[in-house]
Amino acid sequence: MLLSTSIVLLMFSCSIGKRKFIIPEKKLIPVLVDIHLADGIGIVVPYSDVSKRIDSATLYNAVFTKHHITRAMFDSSMAYYTKKPEKLQAIYTEVNAILNKKSSDLETDKEEPEVEKKILVWQDNKAYVLPQMGNINKVEISLPVSKPGFYTISAKIRLFDDDQTVAPRITCYFWYDNGSPKGFREYFRSSPVKKDEKTVTYTVTHKLSNPKITHIKGFILDHSNLDTLFTKHAIVSDIKVYFRE
Protein backbone atom coordinates (compact mmCIF):
# COMPACT_ATOMS: atom_id res chain seq x y z
CA MET A 1 0.00 0.00 0.00
CA LEU A 2 2.82 2.38 0.89
CA LEU A 3 4.58 1.52 -2.38
CA SER A 4 1.40 2.17 -4.40
CA THR A 5 0.92 5.51 -2.69
CA SER A 6 4.52 6.49 -3.41
CA ILE A 7 4.11 5.60 -7.09
CA VAL A 8 0.94 7.70 -7.35
CA LEU A 9 2.63 10.67 -5.67
CA LEU A 10 5.63 10.32 -7.97
CA MET A 11 3.40 10.26 -11.06
CA PHE A 12 1.48 13.27 -9.78
CA SER A 13 4.66 15.25 -9.12
CA CYS A 14 5.98 14.39 -12.58
CA SER A 15 2.70 15.56 -14.08
CA ILE A 16 3.01 18.88 -12.24
CA GLY A 17 6.60 19.16 -13.42
CA LYS A 18 5.51 18.77 -17.02
CA ARG A 19 2.48 21.06 -16.78
CA LYS A 20 4.44 23.93 -15.26
CA PHE A 21 5.96 24.47 -18.71
CA ILE A 22 2.53 24.70 -20.37
CA ILE A 23 1.44 28.28 -21.02
CA PRO A 24 -2.31 28.75 -20.35
CA GLU A 25 -4.46 29.35 -23.42
CA LYS A 26 -5.37 32.94 -22.51
CA LYS A 27 -1.70 33.84 -22.03
CA LEU A 28 -0.57 31.97 -25.14
CA ILE A 29 -2.92 33.93 -27.44
CA PRO A 30 -1.14 37.32 -27.07
CA VAL A 31 2.22 35.54 -27.32
CA LEU A 32 1.24 34.02 -30.69
CA VAL A 33 -0.10 37.38 -31.88
CA ASP A 34 3.28 38.99 -31.16
CA ILE A 35 5.12 36.04 -32.75
CA HIS A 36 3.19 36.56 -36.00
CA LEU A 37 3.80 40.31 -35.86
CA ALA A 38 7.50 39.60 -35.33
CA ASP A 39 7.49 37.36 -38.41
CA GLY A 40 6.01 40.26 -40.38
CA ILE A 41 8.71 42.64 -39.15
CA GLY A 42 11.40 40.18 -40.18
CA ILE A 43 9.99 40.06 -43.70
CA VAL A 44 9.37 43.74 -44.39
CA VAL A 45 12.35 45.46 -42.76
CA PRO A 46 14.08 47.05 -45.80
CA TYR A 47 17.71 46.10 -45.26
CA SER A 48 19.59 44.87 -48.30
CA ASP A 49 22.75 44.21 -46.30
CA VAL A 50 22.46 40.66 -44.96
CA SER A 51 24.61 41.52 -41.95
CA LYS A 52 22.09 44.18 -40.88
CA ARG A 53 18.95 42.07 -41.17
CA ILE A 54 17.07 41.34 -37.99
CA ASP A 55 17.48 37.72 -36.95
CA SER A 56 14.17 35.94 -36.28
CA ALA A 57 15.58 34.46 -33.05
CA THR A 58 16.25 38.01 -31.78
CA LEU A 59 12.67 39.02 -32.55
CA TYR A 60 11.26 35.90 -30.87
CA ASN A 61 13.42 36.42 -27.79
CA ALA A 62 12.05 39.95 -27.50
CA VAL A 63 8.53 38.49 -27.54
CA PHE A 64 9.42 35.90 -24.90
CA THR A 65 10.97 38.58 -22.69
CA LYS A 66 7.90 40.80 -23.06
CA HIS A 67 5.60 38.00 -21.91
CA HIS A 68 7.96 36.70 -19.19
CA ILE A 69 8.37 33.22 -20.68
CA THR A 70 11.25 31.20 -22.11
CA ARG A 71 11.76 29.55 -25.46
CA ALA A 72 11.56 26.15 -23.74
CA MET A 73 8.18 27.04 -22.23
CA PHE A 74 6.90 28.19 -25.63
CA ASP A 75 8.13 25.08 -27.46
CA SER A 76 6.74 22.65 -24.89
CA SER A 77 3.42 24.50 -24.87
CA MET A 78 3.10 24.32 -28.66
CA ALA A 79 3.95 20.61 -28.54
CA TYR A 80 1.25 20.13 -25.91
CA TYR A 81 -1.49 22.02 -27.80
CA THR A 82 -0.57 20.37 -31.12
CA LYS A 83 -1.72 17.10 -29.56
CA LYS A 84 -5.04 18.78 -28.68
CA PRO A 85 -6.27 20.10 -32.06
CA GLU A 86 -9.58 21.44 -30.72
CA LYS A 87 -7.80 23.65 -28.20
CA LEU A 88 -5.22 24.73 -30.78
CA GLN A 89 -7.97 25.62 -33.25
CA ALA A 90 -9.74 27.71 -30.61
CA ILE A 91 -6.48 29.48 -29.79
CA TYR A 92 -5.77 30.31 -33.43
CA THR A 93 -9.33 31.49 -33.98
CA GLU A 94 -8.67 34.15 -31.34
CA VAL A 95 -5.19 34.90 -32.71
CA ASN A 96 -6.54 35.39 -36.24
CA ALA A 97 -9.36 37.57 -34.94
CA ILE A 98 -6.88 39.87 -33.17
CA LEU A 99 -4.56 40.03 -36.19
CA ASN A 100 -7.49 40.77 -38.54
CA LYS A 101 -8.71 43.50 -36.20
CA LYS A 102 -5.25 45.10 -36.17
CA SER A 103 -5.16 44.96 -39.97
CA SER A 104 -8.65 46.42 -40.20
CA ASP A 105 -7.72 49.25 -37.82
CA LEU A 106 -4.70 50.12 -39.96
CA GLU A 107 -6.84 50.24 -43.10
CA THR A 108 -9.42 52.39 -41.34
CA ASP A 109 -6.70 54.83 -40.27
CA LYS A 110 -5.47 55.06 -43.86
CA GLU A 111 -8.96 55.74 -45.15
CA GLU A 112 -9.85 58.35 -42.52
CA PRO A 113 -9.16 61.35 -44.80
CA GLU A 114 -11.78 59.94 -47.19
CA VAL A 115 -14.58 59.74 -44.60
CA GLU A 116 -16.15 63.03 -45.64
CA LYS A 117 -16.44 61.77 -49.24
CA LYS A 118 -18.54 58.73 -48.31
CA ILE A 119 -22.18 58.75 -49.38
CA LEU A 120 -24.81 56.81 -47.44
CA VAL A 121 -26.60 54.66 -50.03
CA TRP A 122 -28.58 52.29 -47.80
CA GLN A 123 -29.59 51.95 -44.15
CA ASP A 124 -31.48 49.37 -42.08
CA ASN A 125 -32.98 51.01 -38.98
CA LYS A 126 -34.16 47.69 -37.55
CA ALA A 127 -32.47 46.26 -34.43
CA TYR A 128 -31.98 42.49 -34.51
CA VAL A 129 -32.19 41.00 -31.02
CA LEU A 130 -31.01 37.39 -30.79
CA PRO A 131 -32.07 34.78 -29.76
CA GLN A 132 -35.56 36.32 -29.50
CA MET A 133 -35.66 36.85 -33.29
CA GLY A 134 -34.12 33.46 -34.20
CA ASN A 135 -31.58 31.30 -32.39
CA ILE A 136 -29.08 31.19 -35.25
CA ASN A 137 -30.16 34.16 -37.35
CA LYS A 138 -27.22 35.33 -39.46
CA VAL A 139 -28.77 38.79 -40.21
CA GLU A 140 -28.63 38.68 -43.99
CA ILE A 141 -28.01 41.63 -46.33
CA SER A 142 -28.84 41.89 -50.05
CA LEU A 143 -28.52 45.22 -51.84
CA PRO A 144 -28.38 46.03 -55.60
CA VAL A 145 -25.21 47.87 -56.65
CA SER A 146 -23.51 48.59 -59.97
CA LYS A 147 -21.50 51.82 -59.79
CA PRO A 148 -17.73 51.18 -59.55
CA GLY A 149 -16.03 52.45 -56.43
CA PHE A 150 -15.50 51.59 -52.76
CA TYR A 151 -18.37 50.19 -50.72
CA THR A 152 -18.25 50.16 -46.92
CA ILE A 153 -20.67 48.15 -44.80
CA SER A 154 -20.95 49.10 -41.14
CA ALA A 155 -23.03 47.78 -38.26
CA LYS A 156 -23.25 48.13 -34.50
CA ILE A 157 -22.88 44.70 -32.90
CA ARG A 158 -23.00 43.66 -29.26
CA LEU A 159 -22.02 40.04 -28.62
CA PHE A 160 -22.59 38.67 -25.13
CA ASP A 161 -20.29 36.32 -23.21
CA ASP A 162 -22.77 33.45 -23.31
CA ASP A 163 -23.12 33.59 -27.10
CA GLN A 164 -22.38 30.14 -28.51
CA THR A 165 -21.24 31.01 -32.04
CA VAL A 166 -17.93 29.82 -33.43
CA ALA A 167 -15.85 32.48 -35.21
CA PRO A 168 -18.52 35.25 -35.22
CA ARG A 169 -17.85 37.70 -38.04
CA ILE A 170 -19.18 39.89 -40.84
CA THR A 171 -19.08 38.03 -44.16
CA CYS A 172 -20.07 40.02 -47.27
CA TYR A 173 -19.36 39.78 -51.00
CA PHE A 174 -20.10 41.30 -54.39
CA TRP A 175 -22.37 38.98 -56.38
CA TYR A 176 -23.88 38.33 -59.79
CA ASP A 177 -25.75 35.40 -61.31
CA ASN A 178 -23.33 33.42 -63.48
CA GLY A 179 -25.57 30.39 -63.74
CA SER A 180 -23.92 28.44 -60.91
CA PRO A 181 -25.89 27.40 -57.80
CA LYS A 182 -24.25 30.06 -55.59
CA GLY A 183 -23.47 32.63 -58.28
CA PHE A 184 -20.20 34.54 -58.65
CA ARG A 185 -18.81 35.86 -55.36
CA GLU A 186 -16.06 38.39 -54.69
CA TYR A 187 -15.56 38.57 -50.95
CA PHE A 188 -14.87 41.57 -48.73
CA ARG A 189 -12.20 41.05 -46.06
CA SER A 190 -13.98 39.26 -43.21
CA SER A 191 -14.35 41.23 -39.96
CA PRO A 192 -14.26 39.15 -36.73
CA VAL A 193 -16.63 40.14 -33.91
CA LYS A 194 -15.47 40.01 -30.28
CA LYS A 195 -17.49 38.59 -27.40
CA ASP A 196 -16.89 41.43 -24.96
CA GLU A 197 -20.48 42.59 -24.32
CA LYS A 198 -19.64 46.02 -25.75
CA THR A 199 -21.51 47.70 -28.58
CA VAL A 200 -18.89 48.19 -31.28
CA THR A 201 -19.21 49.56 -34.82
CA TYR A 202 -17.61 47.07 -37.21
CA THR A 203 -16.85 47.90 -40.85
CA VAL A 204 -15.76 46.09 -44.01
CA THR A 205 -14.71 47.82 -47.25
CA HIS A 206 -14.10 46.51 -50.75
CA LYS A 207 -13.67 48.06 -54.19
CA LEU A 208 -16.17 47.26 -56.94
CA SER A 209 -14.52 47.15 -60.35
CA ASN A 210 -16.20 44.18 -62.05
CA PRO A 211 -19.01 45.55 -64.31
CA LYS A 212 -20.94 42.27 -64.03
CA ILE A 213 -21.62 42.73 -60.32
CA THR A 214 -25.30 43.36 -59.48
CA HIS A 215 -25.52 43.02 -55.68
CA ILE A 216 -23.83 43.16 -52.32
CA LYS A 217 -24.83 40.08 -50.34
CA GLY A 218 -23.77 38.33 -47.19
CA PHE A 219 -24.29 38.13 -43.44
CA ILE A 220 -23.76 40.83 -40.83
CA LEU A 221 -23.37 38.19 -38.12
CA ASP A 222 -21.98 35.00 -39.65
CA HIS A 223 -20.73 31.87 -37.84
CA SER A 224 -18.87 28.59 -38.43
CA ASN A 225 -20.78 26.22 -36.15
CA LEU A 226 -21.03 22.75 -37.66
CA ASP A 227 -24.53 22.10 -36.26
CA THR A 228 -27.66 24.08 -35.37
CA LEU A 229 -27.75 23.14 -31.70
CA PHE A 230 -26.56 26.48 -30.38
CA THR A 231 -27.91 29.93 -29.59
CA LYS A 232 -26.71 33.37 -30.52
CA HIS A 233 -26.92 36.10 -27.91
CA ALA A 234 -26.37 39.39 -29.71
CA ILE A 235 -27.85 42.71 -30.74
CA VAL A 236 -27.22 43.99 -34.28
CA SER A 237 -28.34 47.47 -35.29
CA ASP A 238 -27.66 50.54 -37.44
CA ILE A 239 -26.60 48.60 -40.55
CA LYS A 240 -25.38 51.04 -43.19
CA VAL A 241 -23.76 50.92 -46.63
CA TYR A 242 -21.57 53.80 -47.81
CA PHE A 243 -20.10 54.53 -51.24
CA ARG A 244 -17.13 56.57 -52.38
CA GLU A 245 -15.34 56.77 -55.69
Integer angstrom CA distances of residue 238 from 199, 235, 241 = 11, 10, 10
For residues 239 and 1, the model is more confident at 239
Q: Could you tell me what percent of the chain has a pLDDT over 70?
A: 79
Residue range 171-193: mean pLDDT, rounded: 93
Region 42-46: mean pLDDT is 43
- The answer, yes or no, to whether residue 245 has pLDDT greater than 60, is yes
* pLDDT at site 116: 53
pLDDT digits (tens, 9 = 90+) for 65-105: 889 999 889 888 888 887 887 888 888 888 888 877 777 66
pLDDT > 90? residue 11: no
Angle at 16 between CA 13 and CA 17, to 5 degrees: 85
Nearest to 187 by CA among 167, 201, 207: 207
Q: What is the tens place of the pLDDT at every residue in 118-140?
A: 899 999 988 888 887 777 788 89
Beta-strand relationship, 215-222 and 140-144 = antiparallel
Pairing of strands 184-187, 215-222: unpaired
pLDDT of 45 strictly over 50: no
Q: Quick one: pLDDT at residue 9?
A: 37
Half-sphere exposure of 154 (CA within 13 A, CB side): 17
Q: Residue 20 has what pLDDT? A: 58
CATH 1.10.1660 fits 118-244, yes or no: no
Report yes or no on whether pTM surpasses 0.75.
Answer: no
